[in-house]
Amino acid sequence: MTFPQLPDSWKTVLAEEFDKPYFKDLQNFIAEERKSKTIYPPQTDVFSAFELTPYEQANVLILGQDPYHGENQAHGLCFSVKPGVKIPPSLVNIYKELEDDIGINIPNHGYLISWAKQGILMINAVLTVQAHTPNSHKNKGWETFTDAVISKVNQKQEPVIFVLWGGYAKKKLKLIDANRHTIIQSAHPSPLSAHNGFFGSKPFSKINSALHQAGKPEINYQLTVTADSI
């Protein structure tokens, strides 16, 4: 596994992770998996969240759990899918809340890179998965790596907004200094739990309110309505 997409800022803050035994074991595991199995996302997309949101620009962190495991879905950003791919149920619910919260027109695609380019670091706790086999790369080392990412973002001097949807994400609270940063929590947007506290939680207006208070640019959540214009 190589890191051509990692901006220098991330290579610097995460440098010590790359030399640790767990990460070398993880590299070897992924390399072996790719020899005989279909692994998502493609290797060139594994670190795209970091490419799109350099360390110094990360003002918001949204944490997912496991990449989408269907064909052409995962491309390195949590909850996002490539243009032309059916919008997954969790993202459908995110769009519903987005429309209810701030009146955004719902697009016909799930390609969220414009959010990432505006400073939302959109990572999953696990960055790869075997095709059609959810959680197949759980407990192989990715969680240690992404915990380090969360910790490094927590160490930023300026305030950051951490968005934790669902019980799994909330386990990362221990890595975040709530006295310095804003934490937005709710149920997960999946169809199984969205009605238990995600709908009506207004995370998007809360993010922009916190950014405004910190003197940072607010997020323009409006995506191009059709994927054709991306």
Q: Which residue in 8, 19, 25, 66 is the catalytic one? A: 66
H-run or E-run covering 120: strand 120-124
**Pairing between β-strand 120-124 and β-strand 60-64 as defined by DSSP bridges:** parallel
45 assigned to active site: no
60-95: buried (b, 16+ CB within 10 Å) or exposed (e) per residue? Answer: bbbbbbbbbbeeebbbbbbbbbbbebebbebbebbb
Token pair of 29 as six digits = 């595991």
Query: In this structure, is the dihedral angle defined by the CA atoms of residues 61, 65, 68 and 74, taken in order, positive or negative?
Result: positive
DSSP 105: P
Question: Catalytic amino acids?
Answer: 66
